[in-house]
Structure 1
C-alpha cells in the first residue's frame, strides 16, 4: 500500500466507497452502459479523486462531523436567510461585516441569490451565468468567497449557493465556442434546424415568461438554427443527453464545494431533460441526474446539501428527494407557501390543510424548506392540482390589489391565472392606505410563526424581519422596469433595521417575533418533538391546525387566519389543553379563544 501513489489511493477510495455503486447505477440509468461509457466513468473517477485530494483539512473535518450525525439535516431551527448580495451588503466583504446582524436574528444558513459571474446587462437577476468558477466582479472574488465561508464556519453557520444547472448565458465560453463552430461545444446545447421541429416541440411546452420572453427557442444564425431557451433568449438550455454536460456540472459542484460552499440550490432542476411529446419538465432522467450528483458528492463532500428549486406540484417535487436512491436533501415547500396565502385571503384553512397533508409524505431523510416569500413570484398555477380555477383566480385578484394586499399581477401562461409580485409586508397590507396596520403586522408574523412550526428549515427573505415593503420605484429604472419581480427585490433599508430593538416600532416587533420563532424552532429537538406536520380539521374553518407527534412529546399549532377572535374546539387527545411555547403560558381546554391572527404552539405538559 505504501508504494502506491497518492492519486491511486484517492482513486481507490472513490471506487471502494459505498456510494460509487449507487452512482454507477444512476449514471447507467441515464446514459446506458457499454464499453463507450467506461472512459466516461474513468474521467469521473479522476475528477472525484482530484477533488478529494485537494479538499482542505478543515472541510474534511466538517464533513466528518456532519456524517457522524446522518440525520443532521432534520435538526430543527436551521433558519436560512436569502438575499441578493448587492442589495443587502453591496459585496461579499460587506456581507462578512453583517454577520453579527444575521446571527442576532438566529440565522444558521446564508442563501445568497446568484453571485457567480453573469452576462453584462440584463442577466435575469444573475441567473444567466457566464462563468461558474468566478464571482461577479462587483461582488468580489473567489478569495472573498473563501473568506466568507471561513467566517461562517467559525460561527457554526453555512452557505447555500445558487448553481444554475439548466442553462448558461449566451456569453458563456461553451456558447461562444459553439457559435464559433466547435462541434464539441455545440453538443452542450439543444439546437433545432427547422421551424417545423421547433413547432413540434413547442406544441407541448409551457411558456415560463409568456409576456417578456414568449416561446422556448431563439433563432441563432451562427448556430444554423434555433437554440433551446426555456427562460430568456440569452439563457441557453444545456443538453444533458450529452454526458459531457453532466460531468462539467459535477466538476463545477466539486470546485465550489472545495471553496467551502456547504450546499447548492439546483436552479430550474425540473427542466434538465427534454423528451418529445411532453412538457419537458420533471422527466425521470431529471430525477436520476440529481440522484447521481448526490451519490458522487457523498463520496467526496458528504457534508454538502442539495436543495431542489422545483416550483411544481408536490407530486412532481417529491421525487427530487430521491426514488431509487437519495436525491436532494431539501426542496422548496412551494405548495404550502402558496396555499397559506390563499387560506389567509379566504380566512379558511382548507387549502392549507390540503397542501400540508400532501407535503407530509416526504421521505424520512428529506426536509422541506418552508418560506413565506422569496425573490420569485407567487405562482397560483402551481396549486392547479389542488384547487379549482375559480379559487386560483380569486386569490390572484385578491393579491393584485383586490383585498388588503399591495401586490401586483404578474404574467402567466395561456389558460392560467396571473402570478403575484410583492414583498410579504406589502402583501399583508403594511403601508397601504385604508388597511388596519396592527392587523397587517399580525398577518406577517402569523405566517412566519406557521412556517417555523412546520417540519423543515424555515427561510427568511431579506427585509421581512423588519417589515420591508415593495420597491415601488423599480419601474422607473430602465434596467429593471420590464421585469415585474423587481417589485420585491428592494435594497435593504438599514435605517429601518436600526429599529430592530425598539418594541414600539414595527421593525422591532417583527424582528423580535422572527428571532423568537427561530429560538422556539431550535428548542423542539430538546423537547423531543419530531416528525412531519399533519393537519387537523377543526369546526372553525378560519383556524389552521396541525400536529407533530413522532417524538415523546407532541406539538399542536393553532393559527387563526381571520381578523376576528374565534373559539377553537381542540382536537381529540388535546381536550386538556397544553403549554403554549409562544406565550409561555398554559392553555386549558377543551376550547381555546384565539385573538385576531393569533398563534399558539401547544406542547404536551411535562
Structure 2
C-alpha cells in the first residue's frame, strides 16, 4: 500500500507541474479508474518473467515481412520464426501492426486494432506463445485519417485541443526538424482553416500533450498494450512530445516528465513491462532518457553504433569505435542498452554528432551512395539542409568488394560486434539474411526508407534458405551459429562488464565479463581485408596454453602472436 501511495503522490506532483492543481485532480480521478480496470480486469499475461540475460536477443520485423496466400501475414511470420528461430530469438519487436495510412505503419489510424491485412489479436496471442513481444507506441502523432482527428475537425468538444493549432505567422525556426516538409499543415475545422503541427509528415499529426485528456488516452493505450502481452513498449519519437514556442521542442523537461509518468503508471499496473525510448539525438542527450536510472525508461538505443561500425569497417580501423566505447558509461541500475546496427529506419546521423567530424560523417554518406544507398536530409535552424539519416541495408553498405566471400566475412564481422557488446542485441530481419538494397521498391514508393523494407513470400524465403550456395543462406546460418554460441556464454550477459583492450587500430578488441566476474571472453575482430598478426594482451588469461576460440570450439596456439585472417572473429575464452 505504501508503494502505491508513494507512486500516486509522485504522479500528482509531476502532473501538477504540467497541468496545475485543478486539472490534476480530474486527471488523477480518471487515472485511478484506469488503474483499477487493469489491475482487477487484466491479470498478468505472463506473471513470472525472468530478467533479461545473455540468452535474450530481439528480432525487429514487420508483421507482414513474410506473406502467404493461405494464411495471414502474422501467421506466416510465426511459421518462419517457429521453423528457424525458436530457441534462438527470445523477443520479437513487431513494428506497428495497427491500421495505418502511411509511413509503413507509423501513421496509426487506430491504436487498439490489428491491421486486418496482417491478421488479428488472436495471431498476436499465438506469436506470444513462443516469443516475448515488443510493441510500438507511436504516440507523438496519429494519422490524419484517424477518428481522433476527424472528430476534432468536426468540432466534437470531446476532442478539442487534441492537436496543436498554430498561427502560420509564428516564428518556429528554432524547432529541431526531422524532415524538410513544412512544419504546419492546413486542415479545415468546422469550415475554417487550422494549421496543425506535423513534425514528420502532413499525414502524421502531432498530439497535444498540454491537454491532460490526451495523456490519459495515451496511458490507456500503453496499459492496453501491456495487457495484450507486450514485454517491452517502444516509445516512438518520444523526444518530440512537448512543444514550447521559441525552443527546439526536442527533449524538453516536460517530455521527460511525461516519460516519468509513463514509468510510474506502468510500475503500478505492469511492473515487469519495460519502456524503451526512441530518440534520434546526439549520444549524451539520448542517455538522458534513463533519467536517474529508476524514473524514466529502462532501455535506451545505442544509435551511434551503426554509423561507427560502418565508419570503422570502411576505414579498416576500429580506433574511433573503441574510443567511443570508452566513453559509454554502464547502463545505470537495472537499465539496459539496446544495441542495433540496422532497423526499419535509416542509419541515424545525429547520434554521431560530437563523435565524428562533419567530413567523417560525409565520408560515410559517400560510401553509402557508392553502394547504391541514399541520404535523407533535414532542415537546420538556419534553413540549410544537412544529412539526417542514411538509407541502405547494412549488407549493401558494407559490400565494397568484387569478392562476395570477402563481403560476407566483412558483414559477419560487423554483426559479431553487435553480438559482443554489453546490452541487449536487436537484429533487424534483413540483417539476418544480409539482404541487398531494394532500390526498385524505393523508386516505386518514392520513399528512400523502402530500400531496406523488402517483403518476402514465405515460399520464396524457404527456397532461398534451401540453397546452400545462396549468399543469404550462407549469412543466415553463420549468423544463427553465432547467436547459438552467444546465448550460452554468461560473459555476454547484458549487464556484464565491458572493457576496451587496446591492441592495434586494425583490431576491435574488448573484454566481456559476467556480472559475477567468474567468466570472461576476449573479443578480437580483424577490421581489415588483410591477414593480420596480433599480439595477445598480457594478464587477460591465466595461461596462454589454455585458450579456446568458442566460435569454432578449437584451441588457440599462442606464442608471441596469433595470425588473424581477413575480418576474422575470435571469441577467446580461457580454460579452467
Q: TM-score, normalised by structure 2?
A: 0.90
The question of 1:601 aligning with 2:571 is answered: yes
SS in 2 for 1:86: coil
Question: What displacement does 1:527 show?
Answer: 8.4
Q: Tell me which residue corresponds to 1:41.
A: 28
SS in 2 for 1:160: strand
Of stretches 78-87 and 548-557 in structure 1, the one that deviates more from structure 2 is 548-557
Equivalent residues of 1:77, 1:457 under 8 A apart: no
Give CA deviations for 1:486-513 in whole Å, capped at 9, x if unaligned: 0111112653444546654433332222
Query: Alpha carbons of 1:415 and 1:209: their partners in 2 closer, same or farther (altered >3 Å)?
Result: closer
Looking at structure 2, the residues matched to 516 and 274 of structure 1 have their Cα atoms a distance apart, in angstroms, of 47
Q: Tell me which residue corresponds to 2:208.
A: 239
Question: What displacement does 1:383 show?
Answer: 0.6
Give CA deviations for 1:282-324 in whole Å, capped at 9, x if unaligned: 1122222122212211211122222211122221111222327
Equivalent residues of 2:65, 2:77 under 8 A apart: no
Question: What displacement does 1:453 show?
Answer: 0.8
SS in 2 for 1:262: strand
Equivalent residues of 2:377, 2:385 under 8 A apart: no
Looking at structure 2, the residues matched to 469 and 418 of structure 1 have their Cα atoms a distance apart, in angstroms, of 22
Question: What displacement does 1:209 show?
Answer: 2.1
Looking at structure 2, the residues matched to 529 and 324 of structure 1 have their Cα atoms a distance apart, in angstroms, of 16
- Stretches of structure 2 that go unaligned for 5 or more consecutive residues are none
Q: Tell me which residue corresponds to 1:470.
A: 437
Of stretches 582-591 and 385-394 in structure 1, the one that deviates more from structure 2 is 582-591
Give the number of equivalent residue pairs.
559
**Alignment partner of 1:323 out of 285, 292, 316:** 292
Q: Tell me which residue corresponds to 1:458.
A: 425
Query: Which aligned pairs between 1:184-263 and structure 2 lie closer than 5 A?
Result: 184-192=158-166, 194-197=167-170, 200-201=171-172, 203-210=173-180, 214-222=181-189, 224-263=193-232
Q: Tell me which residue corresponds to 2:536.
A: 570
Question: What displacement does 1:162 show?
Answer: 1.2
Give CA deviations for 1:138-184 in whole Å, capped at 9, x if unaligned: 112233333433xx2xx3x2111111010011122221111112344
Query: Which aligned pairs between 1:419-434 and structure 2 lie closer than 5 A?
Result: 419-429=389-399
Query: Alpha carbons of 1:354 and 1:128: their partners in 2 closer, same or farther (altered >3 Å)?
Result: same
> Cα RMSD (Å) of the superposition?
2.5
Q: Tell me which residue corresponds to 1:511.
A: 476
Q: Tell me which residue corresponds to 1:385.
A: 354
Q: Tell me which residue corresponds to 2:453.
A: 489
Q: Tell me which residue corresponds to 2:78.
A: 96
**Alignment partner of 1:78 out of 47, 56, 64:** 56
Looking at structure 2, the residues matched to 241 and 592 of structure 1 have their Cα atoms a distance apart, in angstroms, of 61
Equivalent residues of 1:274, 1:280 under 8 A apart: yes
Query: Alpha carbons of 1:501 and 1:591: their partners in 2 closer, same or farther (altered >3 Å)?
Result: farther
Looking at structure 2, the residues matched to 98 and 228 of structure 1 have their Cα atoms a distance apart, in angstroms, of 40
Looking at structure 2, the residues matched to 528 and 257 of structure 1 have their Cα atoms a distance apart, in angstroms, of 25
- Stretches of structure 1 that go unaligned for 5 or more consecutive residues are 1-12
Equivalent residues of 2:422, 2:494 under 8 A apart: no
**Alignment partner of 1:118 out of 70, 86, 100:** 100
**Alignment partner of 1:109 out of 91, 94, 98:** 91
Question: What displacement does 1:225 show?
Answer: 2.9
Q: Tell me which residue corresponds to 1:440.
A: 407
Give CA deviations for 1:37-56 in whole Å, capped at 9, x if unaligned: 22211211110110111113
Give CA deviations for 1:70-104 in whole Å, capped at 9, x if unaligned: xx13x113211112222324522323333313434
**Alignment partner of 2:499 out of 517, 534, 538:** 534
SS in 1 for 2:24: helix
Query: Alpha carbons of 1:293 and 1:85: their partners in 2 closer, same or farther (altered >3 Å)?
Result: same
Question: What displacement does 1:362 show?
Answer: 2.2
Looking at structure 2, the residues matched to 105 and 597 of structure 1 have their Cα atoms a distance apart, in angstroms, of 28
Q: TM-score, normalised by structure 1?
A: 0.86
Q: Tell me which residue corresponds to 2:138.
A: 164
The question of 1:173 aligning with 2:137 is answered: no
Looking at structure 2, the residues matched to 304 and 392 of structure 1 have their Cα atoms a distance apart, in angstroms, of 36
Query: Alpha carbons of 1:508 and 1:418: their partners in 2 closer, same or farther (altered >3 Å)?
Result: same
Looking at structure 1, the residues matched to 14 and 125 of structure 2 have their Cα atoms a distance apart, in angstroms, of 32
The question of 1:132 aligning with 2:105 is answered: no
Query: Which aligned pairs between 1:335-354 and structure 2 lie closer than 5 A?
Result: 335-354=304-323
Question: What displacement does 1:544 show?
Answer: 1.3
Query: Alpha carbons of 1:225 and 1:508: their partners in 2 closer, same or farther (altered >3 Å)?
Result: closer
